[in-house]
Amino acid sequence: MTAAQRRSLRGPWRIAALYSVVILCWSCSWYASKLQGGVVDAFVSLVWRFGTAAPLMFGWAALGRQKLKFGWKVHLAFAPVGILMFSLNFAFAYHAVKLLPSGLVSVIFSLSTVTNMALVAVIFRRWPGIRSLMGAAFGVGGLALLFLGDIMPIDEIPGYWAGVFCGLAMTLTFSLGNVGSAWVQRRGVPVVSAAAWSMLYGLLSSIGLACASGTTFALDMSVAYVGSLLFLAIFGTLFAFSAYLELLRMVGPARAAYCTVWAPIGALAISSHFEQFSWTKVAAGAVALIAVGNILVLWSGGGPGKNEMRQPGERELPPDDPLGIGRYRTGEG
């Protein structure tokens, strides 16, 4: 076997390994987030989490010799992205997993593909096609079936609907952050650099909100809390993010996004073992509907693309790479 043949065989195995790392980390992150609940305020937990993760992300960018100095206009974009994606989004997630099984919250979050599409239609007047609308209908229908189909004893779970609201707010803030992130990428900012600065602004936001609420910056020294904190900062953030970026480079954003379809399945499997979630025919059917809906939306390229923010005279990006991340495969940016 020639060296070229060996390399060609390693490619699929490498892609499979990257998918496995991302899906495993994301699947476990939901239950790890639940372990962050308790005596420590959600924003304080985020301070400890991103106080650990943000310096690691800056170090990664520095080791990769990526640009870290940007003008004030770009920082005006970093700030809201960080507040939405790395502060409010996670705060809503932490509150949601306190009130609901973490696997169910991950299923709500998987509908970010649908909210991405809806925001593009509202903000940029880019209307979805029939396939995207069908996918959205499947997703919303599956979510309604999941929460209204008597899958769980609602009366026995205090704050059930508050948990659903927090899950929906988590998904919306994430999608709003995606819109800002797409604008940042359109300006040629490297993904790791953008993530590092956005995490820093999210960290500062969490510090400010924690101070405003009057909470103390206590640290729960239990094994469950510290272990889940380190897992989320290192594996759930740094390792999963690096594996996902490499996956983006190798297969492009459309195929890489299928991680968001499979990770909730893993999260539900963890919930069925450690929490109150029980698999029923209705639950399985609802999750299948949501998965099919997400696949339809992803297949049709629904999401906050870069062409919507294209300036006059700028090159339009190909439809199969709406976020323009494919240019990193050629070493651009």
Looking at residue 315, its pLDDT comes to: 39
Phi, psi of 275 (to 5 degrees): -125, -160
Q: What is the mean pLDDT of the chain?
A: 79
Rounded Cα distance between 83 and 136, Å, is 27
Residue 175 has pLDDT above 50, yes or no: yes
Range with the lowest mean pLDDT among 78-82, 123-127, 229-233? 123-127
Looking at residue 285, its pLDDT comes to: 84
- Across residues 43-71, what is the average pLDDT? 91
Looking at residue 228, its pLDDT comes to: 93
Looking at residue 313, its pLDDT comes to: 39
Which is more confident, 48 or 265? 48
The helix/strand/coil state of 111 is coil
The model's pLDDT over 262-271, given as tens digits with 9 standing for 90+, comes to 888 889 889 8
- In the chain the beta strands, taken as DSSP E runs, fall at none
Closest CA to 303 of 171, 56, 140, 112: 112
The model's pLDDT over 102-115, given as tens digits with 9 standing for 90+, comes to 988 988 888 887 88
User: What is the distance of C-alpha 49 from the center of its chain?
Assistant: 16
The model's pLDDT over 120-129, given as tens digits with 9 standing for 90+, comes to 788 777 777 7
Range with the lowest mean pLDDT among 35-39, 241-245, 246-250, 321-325? 321-325
Which is more confident, 211 or 305? 211
Q: Percentage of residues in the chain with pLDDT exceeding 90?
A: 27
pLDDT category, 319, cuts 50, 70, 90? very low
Looking at residue 310, its pLDDT comes to: 43
Looking at residue 128, its pLDDT comes to: 76
Looking at residue 143, its pLDDT comes to: 78
Q: Could you give the dihedral angle defined by the CA atoms of residues 286, 288, 292 and 295, in that order, rounded to the nearest 10 degrees?
A: 110
Rounded Cα distance between 166 and 108, Å, is 10
Rounded Cα distance between 216 and 194, Å, is 30
Q: What angle do helix axes 191-213 and 160-186 make, rounded to 10 degrees?
A: 140
Residue 140 has pLDDT above 60, yes or no: yes
Q: Could you give the dihedral angle defined by the CA atoms of residues 249, 318, 237 and 171, in that order, rounded to the nearest 10 degrees?
A: -160
Residue 276 has pLDDT above 50, yes or no: yes
Closest CA to 69 of 85, 80, 82, 58: 58
pLDDT category, 184, cuts 50, 70, 90? confident
